[in-house]
Amino acid sequence: MDWINMNPRERSDFRERVRRETLRGKLTVFHENIEMYLQRQVRAYTTTRVFLHWLFFYLLTQKCMIKFKYVNIYL
């Protein structure tokens, strides 16, 4: 029995499951077309940790802009 390919998956996920221990599993690119690649990238960048990174970067930028506004620069 092929236990890996029997696992439940999303409706749009038609990828063949490959064991990591095999050579193909270690060297395979896990997207077969550009749509799958973009879908994986979007999923990765919608996680909580990336959102927090963007939030803290935005707040740091705002803080720097406020500080820069009140600093006298003599060139």
How confident is the model at residue 63, as a pLDDT? 94
> Residue 26: its pLDDT value, please?
66
DSSP-derived letter for residue 15 is: P
Q: Note the pLDDT of residue 57.
A: 95
Q: Is residue 35 part of a domain?
A: yes
Domain range for 62: 4-69
Q: How many CB atoms lie within 10 A of CB 63?
A: 10
Q: What is the per-residue pLDDT for 60?
A: 96
Residue 15 contacts residue 36 (beta carbons within 8 Å) = yes
Number of domains in the chain: 1
Q: Is residue 75 assigned to a domain?
A: no
**pLDDT tens sequence for the chain (75 residues):** 567 667 777 777 767 777 767 766 666 666 677 887 788 778 877 777 788 888 999 999 999 999 888 886 665
Global pTM value: 0.40
